[in-house]
Structure formats: C-alpha cells, structure tokens
Structure 1
Amino acid sequence: MSTLPDNSVTLGRRQLFMLPTRFGLLFAALLVVQLLAAINYANGLAYALTFLLGSLAVVSMLYTHRNLFRLRLAAGTSAPVFAGEAASFRIHLTNDSDTPRFGVAVMHDKKEIARVDIPARGSADVSLGVPAVKRGLLTMPAVTLTTRFPLGLLYSWSRRVTLEQSCLVYPRPAGPTPRQTRAVESPEPQSGLRAGGDDYIGAREFQPGDSPRHVDWKAVARGEAWRVKQFGGGYQATVWLDWDTLAGLDTETRLSVLTRWVLDAEHDGMLYGLRLPRQTLNTAKGEEHQHECLKCLALFGLKP
C-alpha cells in the first residue's frame, strides 16, 4: 500500500486478501463430485463440463483480485459540526485503470456503508458518518474495501486503510442563556456611516426600564431570554464574551455557554470579541470570525 503526497492511499498486491465464499465452497464441492462422476463413467462431456466450470472459477479469481488492485483512496474535506451531531467524512475512490470496477463495498466497523461502481478512469465519492461525542478534533476511522465481483464465488478485501483526515467538533451549545458582560454593551460607530436613524443593529439583554416596544417578542414566544432590539443608523452593537463572567461553572459548561453566546451574537449582527485564559480574539463579525471563535472554544485546553 503506497501513500501519495496528497494524502491518498493506493492498494497494492500485498494489501489484498482473498477467500472463497460459502457459495464458492459449494461450487468447489460440486466440481469434485462432478469430476468423480466423470472418472467413474469415463464420460468425456462430463470431463469437459467440469474443466470448463473450473476454468471459470480460476478466471473469476483474477477478476475479483483486479477489482480492488490499484484503487486509490483519498480523504475529502469535512465540515465542522457541534458535539452531539454526526461528522461526515468524504472518501474519494479513484480508478486510474482502463478497466471499470463493479460492486466495490466500503466497510467500517464490519458494516457496509456504501457499495459503488467506478468507471474506467473515473471516480466515486462515499460519505462516512461518525457520531461526534465530544469537542475537539475527531479523526477519520479506518475503512476496509471488499468485493465479490464477478461471480460471488470469492471474497476479496483490503487491509484497514487509515486516511489522515479530521473533523473539527465545536462544543455543544447551551440552551438560551442570558449574556453576561463585564461592561454594558455599547454601540460602536462604523466609518463612513451617518449617526442616528432607525436601522437594526442588534439586541441586548432586557433591563428594567426598557421600552416594551423594543422587546424581541418573537424570541420570547420561542421560550428564549428576554432581549431588547437596538436601533441606530451608523452604529454597530459591540460586546465582549468573557470567560471570567462565568465563574463557578466547570470548564465544559463555560465552553457550552460561550458557544451559545457566539451563535447569538452572530445571529444578532453584533460586533463581538472573545476572551479566554491566555487568548483573546478582537471584535469582529461574519462567518469566518464565528468559525475562529468556535474553533478556539473547541480546542481550548486540548493538547495539540
């Protein structure tokens, strides 16, 4: 089995194994009985039929082995998921030969996850779902390729193939949790915009004295915490999500709550920053900033 620079694995002869299936054993027993009958009755047609069927079995052995030989496996990208969800690993199977491959099965933990046909000079993709139990980096498990092509008389399989691929698992978000900050959230001016106006700039926690007109009643109806919509053209609500505001909670609970706050701040269109022990991410917003914040939370305290 050779490993190429692009993190792909090509199956060689020494990594493939073969054994007869149950039907193959029955077929072999049938040939023995038929051969004995031909010898006993000195029947030329019986000899011819026996050797013809035996030749088919020998040829099928060659095709069964070739169906996996020189197949190339490569790992595709894996999108981040939250703890408790299923990570999806993509396996790219490439056939560099001029012969199509039929009935190639991909096995994981002794279970078939997919069966594909791969055309000559073509490829096929297979998705492997793995439960993401805890945050961090989830490595792709080993897989095995098997086939019974063409007659089902022989079963060929490969060694366990491990591809260097991992999936980032974010902490599981906590339920709706009132956001706590060291300082009151404040609007921050954006350059080039005129102050004043009625543009929606985000939401903050409800405080006594706030106008009921600005309460986000849709969120309240969903059972979420009471929040107040903020308006003001040319300004952007800014908030710091601070580890130290969650004193008294254990590490995983803090990470879970901070994950919820990051998602809420991004949903509300706020500028938000993240403060962790020995690590700070400056205020920003957008999918890339959200990913960086969640990545810091996912890898917090884990060994590289």
Structure 2
Amino acid sequence: MVMLFAMLAGSINYTLSMGFAFTFLLASLANIAMLHTWRNLLHCQVQFLKAVPVFVGQNAMIELTITETKYRTRYAITAKFKANELDKKSKQPTSMHLATTEDITAATTQAFHSALKTQTRGLHRIPRLTLCTEFPLSLFYAWSYVDLNHDYLVYPTPASNTDFQPSSIAFSSQSNAENTTTNHQGDEDFSGHRPYQLGDTPKQINWKASSRGLGLLTKQYESFSPSLIHFSWADTAHFNLNYEQRISLLTRWVIDANQRKQRYGLNLPRGNIAPSNGEMHYHTCLKALALMETA
C-alpha cells in the first residue's frame, strides 16, 4: 500500500502517464486479490467428527470436515488452532500444533486432521479453530474463528518401571496368579510337559509320548491366562510413589493386562469397574484413570 502511494505521488510530481497506468493497474489487482481472498473463505461449513483419545505426550488428532456450499473450488484453506491458548479446565497452554492446508473442490467435503500437543491427563476443551487463507496472491490474509464446543480425552502416562507389580491380595480367589503356564488347550502356544497329576483330562495327556514309554505327560500351554484380577488404588500404596505416579502405575497394569487378554477390574476411590476384557473395557478403565481428581 505504501508503495502504491509512493508511485502515485511520483506519477503526479513528474506527470507520468505510464506511471499512472501502472499504479492504477496494481491498485486494481490488489482490490481484486482482496476480494478473492475474502470469497475463498466465505460460506465454508465446518463439522467436528471426532477426537481420538491419546496418552500424555502424544498428539491428539482432531478430525473435522469442511464443506464447500457455493459450487466453487476453494484453494489453500488452512485449519489450525490458536497458539498458546490456555485450556479453560487445566489452565495449561495448548501450545502450537500441526496446521493442515487443503484445497476444497466445488460442492464437496474435505477432511482435515489437526494435531494438538498434550501435556496433562484429563478431559480438555478443544481450543478455538482458525480457518485462514492467503489465496490467490498472498497479499491479504483472511481468517475466521470457529468454536467446536467439543472435548478431547488424554490418558495418563503409563509407568515405565515394570518392577512394581500388583500384590497377591489384588487377585481374586477365582484365579491362580502365580501360574504363568496353564493346562488349557486352544489357541495358546505349547510350552512343554509336566508329570501327570490326578485330575488331568485325557485331552491334556500326550499319548504319543506315553506310547514311546515316557510315561504319562501332561501338555502345558503358555500365555493363556484365566486369571481374574482386581487392580486397586489401595494396592499402589505399597510403593513409595506420589499421586500421579500411582495413577501411572495403574495405567501400566491395565495396559499389560489388556495385552495379555486377561479379565481385570479397577477399584478406585470414587467407584469400581467390574472385571471384564476387550477394547471397550480397556478404554473405560483408562478413561476412569484419566478423569481422577488432581492431587
């Protein structure tokens, strides 16, 4: 803009017809560029899809769509969250994230994925979204703010020290937690033999080995775990850990039990979760740990 005024002043001072023409041409291009920059963002509809839960330190991926409603292609539309905006619940800065820039074809819907850095566990409000563009000449910047009015969940950081294990009182009477191998068959890996014991079923006996004169041997299978485990908040008091470290330890136990396909429950100060397994139960337990009150 300053350059245009300088060119106009020089053209007036020296009565340069070509200077006038060039100045007015640039001014016209600037006005047209400003109009197209504004129209490039006009009438775009934003819809929130989902925010996948993550652990502290991972980037929370916010999935949304932007729909073009006026039958014209939009170019270089950027979706980003405001930097250093304080989360209203945790009072922690959301920090900067990965901005996403996409073109939107006329009358279509384009998916956008924006990432937020996570610093604390819990349920956090998604910060204000900024839609912006500098198309076509990057001379002007048009933007619009969108409040998504949704939250994203951050699970606690799992403890890295696996030396801390649940004490024996954490296991129910229905389980035998000390056994790492069992006598059950199925999809488990074969781990070896042991001498026959009274009560072993015929299916467990290795009859081929018996026919070779090796006696009655019972087949054992590894990794099968019928144990029913109760992870208790009180159980973490046996270790010299602070409040957040105890939550991290419970998180580690839940992750390990889920990987071993065990049935496990969670006993917390504000409620209990009955033993079960599967992905839904896994995320229910992690959510309960994430939403525990801060110390």
For the criterion TM > 0.5, the same-fold answer is: yes
Tell me the amino acid that sits aligned with residue 15 of structure 2: N
For 1:108-135, what per-residue CA distance to the aligned partner results, in whole angstroms no more than 9, with x for missing partners?
Answer: 3297712221111123233222221111
Segments of 4+ moved more than 6 angstroms: 232-235
Tell me the amino acid that sits aligned with residue 118 of structure 1: I
Tell me the amino acid that sits aligned with residue 93 of structure 1: I
Matched, 1:278 2:234: no
Contact 1:259 1:294 in 2 (8 A): yes
For 1:15-63, what per-residue CA distance to the aligned partner results, in whole angstroms no more than 9, with x for missing partners?
Answer: xxxxxxxxx543x2365157526x825x4x6655554443333222221
For 1:234-274, what per-residue CA distance to the aligned partner results, in whole angstroms no more than 9, with x for missing partners?
Answer: 98221111111122643212211111111111111211111
For 1:175-224, what per-residue CA distance to the aligned partner results, in whole angstroms no more than 9, with x for missing partners?
Answer: 21322242545556xxxxxx96345789xxxxxxxxxxxxxxxxxxxxxx
Q: Work out the CA distance in 2 between the residues paired with 1:105 and 1:197.
A: 56
Report what 1:206 is aligned to. Answer: none
Taking a change above 3 Å as real, the CA distance of residues 91 and 241 of structure 1, as seen in their structure-2 partners, is same
Report what 1:131 is aligned to. Answer: 117
Contact 1:196 1:233 in 2 (8 A): no
Q: Work out the CA distance in 1 between the residues paired with 2:173 and 2:276.
A: 14
Match of 2:157 among 172, 179, 195: 172
Partner SS, residue 51 of structure 2? coil
Deviation at 1:232, TM superposition (A): 9.2
Q: Work out the CA distance in 2 between the residues paired with 1:240 and 1:247.
A: 15
Report what 1:76 is aligned to. Answer: 49
* 1:31-110 map, 5 Å: 31-33=7-9, 35-36=11-12, 40-41=15-16, 43=17, 48-107=21-80, 108-109=82-83
For 1:61-119, what per-residue CA distance to the aligned partner results, in whole angstroms no more than 9, with x for missing partners?
Answer: 22121111122222221111111222111232221111111122334329771222111
Any unmatched runs of 5+ in structure 2?
A: 85-95, 176-181, 190-219
Taking a change above 3 Å as real, the CA distance of residues 137 and 64 of structure 1, as seen in their structure-2 partners, is same
Match of 1:162 among 141, 147, 158: 147
Partner SS, residue 76 of structure 1? strand
Q: Work out the CA distance in 1 between the residues paired with 2:258 and 2:223.
A: 18
Taking a change above 3 Å as real, the CA distance of residues 258 and 46 of structure 1, as seen in their structure-2 partners, is closer
Number of aligned residue pairs: 242
Partner SS, residue 99 of structure 1? coil
Q: Percent identity?
A: 32
Contact 1:198 1:233 in 2 (8 A): no
Contact 1:201 1:235 in 2 (8 A): no
Report what 2:184 is aligned to. Answer: 197
Q: Work out the CA distance in 1 between the residues paired with 2:223 and 2:78.
A: 58
Tell me the amino acid that sits aligned with residue 236 of structure 1: P
Tell me the TM-score normalized by structure 1. Answer: 0.68
Report what 1:256 is aligned to. Answer: 248
Taking a change above 3 Å as real, the CA distance of residues 186 and 268 of structure 1, as seen in their structure-2 partners, is farther
Q: Work out the CA distance in 1 between the residues paired with 2:36 and 2:69.
A: 16
Tell me the amino acid that sits aligned with residue 197 of structure 1: H
Contact 2:170 2:231 in 1 (8 A): no
Taking a change above 3 Å as real, the CA distance of residues 85 and 54 of structure 1, as seen in their structure-2 partners, is closer
Contact 2:122 2:153 in 1 (8 A): yes
Taking a change above 3 Å as real, the CA distance of residues 35 and 232 of structure 1, as seen in their structure-2 partners, is closer
Matched, 1:29 2:5: yes
Partner SS, residue 236 of structure 1? coil
Tell me the amino acid that sits aligned with residue 121 of structure 1: A
Tell me the amino acid that sits aligned with residue 173 of structure 1: P
Report what 2:236 is aligned to. Answer: 246
Taking a change above 3 Å as real, the CA distance of residues 34 and 116 of structure 1, as seen in their structure-2 partners, is farther
* 1:165-244 map, 5 Å: 165-174=150-159, 175-176=161-162, 177-182=164-169, 184=171, 197-199=184-186, 231=221, 236-244=226-234
Any unmatched runs of 5+ in structure 1?
A: 1-23, 189-194, 203-229
Matched, 1:148 2:134: yes
Taking a change above 3 Å as real, the CA distance of residues 35 and 240 of structure 1, as seen in their structure-2 partners, is same
Q: Work out the CA distance in 1 between the residues paired with 2:158 and 2:174.
A: 26
